[in-house]
Chains A and B, each alone.
Chain A
Amino acid sequence: GENVEQHPSTLSVQEGDSAVIKCTYSDSASNYFPWYKQELGKRPQLIIDIRSNVGEKKDQRIAVTLNKTAKHFSLHITETQPEDSAVYFCAASIPGNQFYFGTGTSLTVIP
């Protein structure tokens, strides 16, 4: 099956700086790559996603890039704010809608 690896596991940045989280996947059939934000004690919530036929997608301060050849995708958060502090998960979906998640990145934004 699919294997998704996520790095780093923890990340601390100063408020206003950028944060980058990287994921790799193993199954070339994966065609959908969502990113989730999970606050303590809450459910994961989708923040941005990208399909395999797109190289980059941006939504305000958040962007995702996908390199299908290298099988990696990244989340970029610019102008970080304290409310961005949370655990972020990447995921990859293979046809048939099975999702495989990374192990998460705990992001702390220091005011």
Chain B
Amino acid sequence: GAVVSQHPSRVICKSGTSVKIECRSLDFQATTMFWYRQFPKQSLMLMATSNEGSKATYEQGVEKDKFLINHASLTLSTLTVTSAHPEDSSFYICSAYGGGSKGSYEQYFGPGTRLTVT
């Protein structure tokens, strides 16, 4: 299968600071990337859909000014949590969709980023 990486895998930051998470498709071009959030013992909830070169589409209840998403290339999408607060502490997972390229029609998931805001 195709490979998707996320960086960092873990990050601890202080309340009020901003954190950037990178999602990369390593061996295919991702026309679309998705960002999910998972709270403890809960399922994955979609935050936003990111298409290369265009603005992200956010799910209801997700603040676009707080969770900035940039998809500047076909292999990289970034999620920036601005002015983080303890309630933003969560597991953030991205997935990449190749649209028929090497990634086939599956979505491939990154390993996730554990964010802890103190």
Partners in one complex: no
